[in-house]
A and B are shown apart, each in its own frame.
Chain A
Amino acid sequence: MGTKDIFAGSVITTKVKEVVAWGRKNSLWPMPYATACCGIEFMGTVSSYFDISRFGAELVRFSPRQADLLIVLGTINYKQAPILKRIYDQMCEPKWVISAGACASSGGFYNNYSVVQGIDEIIPVDVYVPGCPPRPEAILNGILKIQEKIVKEAKGKPDAA
């Protein structure tokens, strides 16, 4: 009888890094930075019908120091850019960013003097969610993509997501 049979069902072998990643991905604490209609969709995503807590990300924090997932929902103009940058800087490592919706990702249809053409000009973005605004399913899909990325980062393939 090999060791595999002795411990079958009661022991799994893994790496600490991967266990930590498993914990992180299932308990993301999001901070919404909502400036437009995407924020309303996020409220729907968090609430019972779509229920973000199925993916362990229901603990929405309004202090960046307590959050590890920044979700930017809405139009970011030049005057807000330093504020968003500052909020991102206040978050502790490790941290991830979802850019939800057309405005946050590319400026959307605000091709004008006052709107930043995508928040990736200010802060690094991990996942872009398309839509104007994105439906709650799309935001949930974005969170799943972040989870995939967390696992792959732990396995040493950061760009695989």
Chain B
Amino acid sequence: MPPDPVILEKLKEKFPTEIVSTNDSGEMPVAVIKKAEGHSILSFMKEEPALRFDFLIDLTAIDRQKLGGTPRFEVVYHLYSVTLKHRLRLKIQLPEEDLRLASAVDLWKSANWMERECAEMFGILFEGHPNPKKLLLFEGFEGYPLRKDYPIDRRQKIPVPEEKL
């Protein structure tokens, strides 16, 4: 099914200055947006009756260091509307100097673990997250392993058992 043009039109109408670029990946419309209004755009996506993105399918990040991109990071949201059956990929640009981004857990509960993983793997700080602990890595892990500058042969200090036997 070709992507519904209404989605990007609605977005452009509401936030004309916040959009960096839009395109159609063939599977779903894609919008790259600025960081400042990121959370309001996500909120709009969920609340707007013509869009009704009630399901956050996936949340991850891209380190564009070796793609030569600026800003360095992009946080990618895959949204789906269960009621209207359409999809959208939203990318929020994030410069290396300021990795803070508003958490989306207040909009979609599924963001909880995905943001925790994204935070430990890329070092992105999701502000307002209810439980900002590591998800997959152990406490004390140094560095962010999915960043492009994390050496593949870097090893961590092996954690020791916490309590006595």
Contact of A78 among B150, B153, B156 (CB under 8 A): B156
Interface class of chain B by DSSP = loop
Q: Which of A1-9, A34-42, A84-92, A136-144 contacts B (4 or more CB under 8 A)?
A: A84-92
Q: Is the CB of A79 within 8 A of B158?
A: no
Verify if B159 is at the interface (C-beta below 8 Å from A). Answer: yes
- Known contacts A82-B161, A86-B161, A122-B158; can you find 17 more A-B pairs with CB under 8 A? A78-B156, A78-B158, A78-B159, A79-B138, A79-B159, A82-B158, A82-B159, A82-B160, A82-B162, A85-B160, A85-B161, A86-B165, A112-B152, A113-B154, A113-B156, A114-B137, A121-B158
Verify if B155 is at the interface (C-beta below 8 Å from A). Answer: yes
Q: Is the CB of A89 within 8 A of B165?
A: yes
Instruction: Count how many chain B residues have C-beta atoms less than 8 Å from C-beta atoms of the other chain.
Output: 18
Query: CA of A78 to CA of B156 in the docked complex: distance in angstroms?
Result: 8
Which residues of chain B have C-beta atoms less than 8 A from A82's C-beta?
158-162
Chain B's nearest CB lies how many Å from the CB of A121? 6
Chain A's nearest CB lies how many Å from the CB of B42? 30
Q: Is the CB of A78 within 8 A of B152?
A: no
Verify if B132 is at the interface (C-beta below 8 Å from A). Answer: no
Which residues of chain A have C-beta atoms less than 8 A from B165's C-beta?
86, 89-90
Q: Which residue of B lies closest to A79 (CB)?
A: B138
Determine which residue in B138, B150, B162 has the highest number of CB atoms from chain A within 10 A of its CB, and name it.
Answer: B138
Verify if A125 is at the interface (C-beta below 8 Å from B). Answer: no
Contact of A117 among B143, B152, B155, B160 (CB under 8 A): B155
The A-contacting residues of B in range 124-153, CB under 8 angstroms, are 136-138, 141, 143, 145, 150, 152-153
Q: Is the CB of A116 within 8 A of B158?
A: yes
The B-contacting residues of A in range 91-132, CB under 8 angstroms, are 111-114, 116-117, 121-122
Give me the interface of A with B, judged by CB distance under 8 Å. 78-79, 81-83, 85-86, 89-90, 111-114, 116-117, 121-122
Query: CA of A111 to CA of B159 in the docked complex: distance in angstroms?
Result: 18
Determine which residue in B145, B159, B165 has the highest number of CB atoms from chain A within 10 A of its CB, and name it.
Answer: B159
Query: CA of A89 to CA of B160 in the docked complex: distance in angstroms?
Result: 12
A-B contact pairs, 23 of them (CB 8 A): A78-B138, A78-B141, A78-B159, A79-B137, A79-B138, A81-B158, A82-B159, A82-B161, A82-B162, A83-B161, A85-B161, A89-B165, A111-B152, A112-B145, A113-B145, A113-B152, A113-B154, A113-B155, A113-B156, A114-B136, A114-B145, A117-B155, A121-B158
Which residues of chain A have C-beta atoms less than 8 A from B160's C-beta?
82, 85
Which residues of chain B have C-beta atoms less than 8 A from A90's C-beta?
165
Determine which residue in A78, A89, A111, A117 has the highest number of CB atoms from chain B within 10 A of its CB, and name it.
Answer: A78
Query: CA of A116 to CA of B138 in the docked complex: distance in angstroms?
Result: 13
Which residues of chain A have C-beta atoms less than 8 A from B152's C-beta?
111-113
Q: Which residue of B lies closest to A107 (CB)?
A: B155
